[in-house]
Amino acid sequence: MDLGAIKLSIPSHLFKPDVSRSLMYAARDYVFAFILAGAYTLAINTITNPILLLLATVVYWGLQGTVFWAMFTVGHDCGHGSFSRSTTLNDVVGTIVHGFILVPYYPWKMSHHHHHKNTGNIDQDEIFHPIRTKDQGQLMSNSKFVINNYFLFGFGWLAYLVAGYAGNNYEKNYEKAFHSHFNPFDKMWVKKSGMAAISIAFVLSVVSALLYTALYVANGLPLVVAYYVGPWFVFATWLVVVTFLHHASEDTKWLSPSEWTYTKGQLENTTDRTYGAVFDHITHDIGTHVVHHLFPIIPHYHLVEANKHLKKYTTENNLPHKEVLGHISGLGEFMTNADRYKNNLIIADDALEHSIHNKNEKKMK
């Protein structure tokens, strides 16, 4: 699996970001958000039937939460350097875009880089990895509760930002099991603690604004919940669901360090998915995930075209390229795979590879 040869199969212009285009997509998401908020305000002021108003609220939460997910994808490009070639512009836009949806950009950027560098590695991946028998004692009861209950959907994303994920979580030897993205001095990003502190401060300023509105503005709490908290929970649930489905599909594999290489890990542990044409477009085609994992420098607006070239190469060279495109992936598929994952979470100390379909592995209690 020659990564250089794979890269040569993709036209070079697809690796280059267009700053004006990147900014346009960032602006588009905010335009969508303001239009939806305006439409919801109109609904609140004109709909008198409580059932219809509840329905309008549910629709607003679903759509606005999806737009929040799109904003996250723009910040995701910033974190990978695919928004622009300017590190400063990437970090400024990423801090703002992620801060608006309560994600500390720089700490997330660093932990996410670790995930990309170790995708599919049993002992070094950053999230949703299996746990070896000798290490299962590191799983605390609250970690088991989260895993056994579908990662608590949107609450799971909040827990991840605050405390990290159960298991190795960056260190090979379990030196520390608690990694808060709100701690600027965590060892994962301590060399850039100033950048981390700026990102965290921006998030806290947004939280402060929301709290001020809830406490001191007339009807503030219902407004904050209706306009922001509901959509945020939908966004966070989206993020848990799609992140899991991209790396814990029916046939994805985790490999031991002796079997793992960067290229093999990305191809064996990453899956392309569709969430429906409309959602795929709104969320910047992040479901086109295999080519993104191999080459995260590719901007989101080039992923679909780049993936066509990648698929041609993997097919011609008999390489794995996992995809679930015959149907729209959704919540039911997530829950089914999450059940398989938790029932096969604990694996043998000498396991060389693992998938969630391994039926003979010890089950977590």
- Listed by start position, the domains of the chain span 19-263+330-354
Half-sphere exposure of 21 toward its Cβ, with a 13 Å CA cutoff? 12
pTM above 0.85, yes or no: yes
Sign of the dihedral through C-alpha 177, 183, 184, 185:
negative
What per-residue confidence (pLDDT) applies to 190? 82
Burial class (CB in 10 A: 0-12, 13-18, 19+), 34: exposed
The position carrying tokens 């579908």 is 150
What region does 254 belong to: left with phi over 0, alpha with psi -120 to 50, or beta?
beta
Task: Check whether 276 has a pLDDT greater than 80.
Answer: yes
Task: Check whether 238 has a pLDDT greater than 60.
Answer: yes
Q: Compute the CA torsion angle 231, 40, 74, 87 (nearest 10 deg).
A: -100
Are 354 and 256 within 8 A, CB to CB? no
Neighbours of 159 (CB within 10 A): 18
What per-residue confidence (pLDDT) applies to 362? 41
Least confident of 3-7, 140-144, 250-254, 349-353: 140-144
Tokens of 337: 């795979």
* Calpha distance 81→89 (Å, rounded): 9
What per-residue confidence (pLDDT) applies to 171? 47
Least confident of 14-18, 130-134, 256-260: 130-134
